[in-house]
Amino acid sequence: FNLGGCKTGFSKITQGYKSPAKYIIHTVGPIWNGGNKNESELLASCYKAPINLALDNNITSIAFPAISCGAYRFPIQKACEITVN
């Protein structure tokens, strides 16, 4: 399948295909650059946009990884605060 790209902070939904999930919501997290390039707002959008897609598609459960906290170096404590809020 081809999503046709996805901008940072946005999300797209696909079928679950061979995974146990009925749907997969894809999102692109921000790369941490010190916090002065809208990273926090973009990360917040990475959680809000999938929740809105889930609601729009009558999805009743959702799971998230620690978006941007690995290779993109987003500070885990700051990411946790953004995620909970």
Beta strand spans in 1-85 (E): 11-15, 23-27
Residue 13's CB: how many other CB atoms inside 10 A?
A: 15
Under DSSP, is residue 14 helix (H, G, I), strand (E, B) or coil? strand
| Sign (positive or negative) of CA dihedral 79, 46, 4, 63 | positive
Cβ pair 31, 40 in contact under 8 A: no
pLDDT tens-place values along the chain, 85 residues long: 678 889 999 999 999 999 999 999 999 999 999 999 999 999 999 999 999 999 999 999 999 999 999 999 999 999 999 999 9
Q: What global pTM score does this model have?
A: 0.90
Q: What is the pLDDT of residue 1?
A: 60
